[in-house]
Structure 1
Amino acid sequence: MSRTIAVVFALAQRACALPALSLLAESEAPNMVTHSIDNLPVAEIMARWPGTIRVFIALDMHCVGCPISIFHTLAEAAAEHQLDAKLLFAAILEATGRL
């Protein structure tokens, strides 16, 4: 059962690719990606890109499983944990493979 869930989840992640990125010039693409991630709740970021979970854990953020993570954006989570938002964004983008 868990293998089936993992396969379905992996296929769903591939479907979440941003097709608009292929239409943008290289210099514009990072801004588009940052913009799409900075408005997402932390819980959705972790659901779409499970590799980001390790970033939250490494930074000693307790976002994994937190009921507030469905509301907080990255900027709000960084402020709540007294972290530099730019560093958090960079780490998340790297973990998503979109940096």
Structure 2
Amino acid sequence: MIGHDDQRSYYRMMINAECILVVNSVEAPQQFNAICRDLSANGMAVEINQEIEAGEDVSVKINSTNIQIPSLTAKGKVLRSRKEADNLFVVGIEIIDLA
């Protein structure tokens, strides 16, 4: 266990990196520019200007700015979406698979 107040199994890295979030809906995929606030071994928090429903399947791509560090592409499921301000939502995503 990490600490008394945090029940997570993995540490979160605060990264604040630009990313592309794709909602893989049945009708048609929707792509959004977003900011990945933090990342852990099994999840991430992403800032976006639209609410995304819990349970949605998503893909997230974070491009690397360093040629020695590969870009990250992850498939996941939205666990929660919380409004922080007008047109600003924080979406919690469980990572299902890394590509």
- TM-score surpassing 0.5? no
Q: Which has the higher contact order (CA 8 A, sep 6+)?
A: 1
TM norm structure 2 = 0.28
Pick the structure with more strand per residue.
2
Pick the structure with more helix per residue.
1
TM norm structure 1 = 0.28
